[in-house]
Chains A and B, each alone.
Chain A
Amino acid sequence: MKEQELKYFIDVVVNYFRDISGEPSEMGIPFIKEKNTILLDYTGLIGISGTKKGAIYLTASREMLSEITTILLGYENPEEELVVDMAGEIANTIAGNVRENFGASFMISVPIILKGCPEDVIIRMIPPIFIIPIKWRNHSAFLAVGLE
């Protein structure tokens, strides 16, 4: 994974939050997790195939996902099913948007949505796994990129 490739993901995340809320996210310094990983309340995981292989995931708190869902739908306290689905949709949008840089042979799967911290999430990721910290409003989230 080259530094420039990691930057593609960072730019897409910043633009995502700016486009949906008018407020770009602040990105922390990426770090590497070799074995275990970080998972918050809900996680959207996208399998990658084609020129790159592995997976990416976006993990976030329920509160953050609820706030984003509220922005989209225009009402407070959206139903839980919508909030859970939001994790998959953000991961899907990030993975789809980086195709602008990686090209059409960067193939993405439909999202897999995970609740809590299942043990097997690491299986699809190809180490080293880069963890990119995301801060938006008063919320923290993480984008993990594990590609070869």
Chain B
Amino acid sequence: MKMLIVDDSFVIRKTIEKYAIDLGIKDIYTAPNGREAIRIFGQESPSLVTMDITMPEMDGIECLEELLKLDPSAKIIIITALKDSATGLLALKKGASGFISKPFTPEQIRDEIISVTGGNI
């Protein structure tokens, strides 16, 4: 399975990547903003994406909509510090498959990935 991690924080990209590798995911790509994410998504067609919301260039909600236009079957998990319920509802309404608020634990990342992929890693 191919996975794309989108977050403007280098340390968060590395952290999610580590948890994904521990889970057995091998083909992992990373992007620091929405525009770069769309470029990589178009080239590599990952089936799983983790997406931050507050990012430069293009925010995560706009990027989520663009990625789902390219592949409506993509599973996109929002991982954001924005903890208000309105943001969570908006993300799910726009087509996110899952939502995790920061700070997160390895278990939260693992459980959400298994949940949205049905364990097909």
Contacts and interface: CB of A to CB of B under 8 A. Distances in A.
Q: Do A and B come from one complex?
A: yes
Interface of A: 16, 19-20, 69, 72-74, 81-82, 85-86, 88-89, 92-100, 102-104, 108-111
A73 B8 contact: no
Task: Please classify the interface of chain A as helix (H, G, I), strand (E, B), loop, or mixed, using the class held by over half of its residues.
Answer: helix
Interface of B: 8-12, 14-15, 18, 54-56, 80-87, 101-103, 105
B103 A93 contact: yes
Given A99-B83, A104-B84, A108-B54, 15 more contacts: A69-B11, A73-B11, A73-B15, A85-B9, A85-B11, A92-B9, A92-B54, A92-B102, A93-B102, A96-B81, A96-B82, A97-B102, A99-B84, A102-B84, A110-B55
Nearest to A74: B18
Nearest to A104: B86
A59 B116 CA distance: 37
Contacts of A81: 10
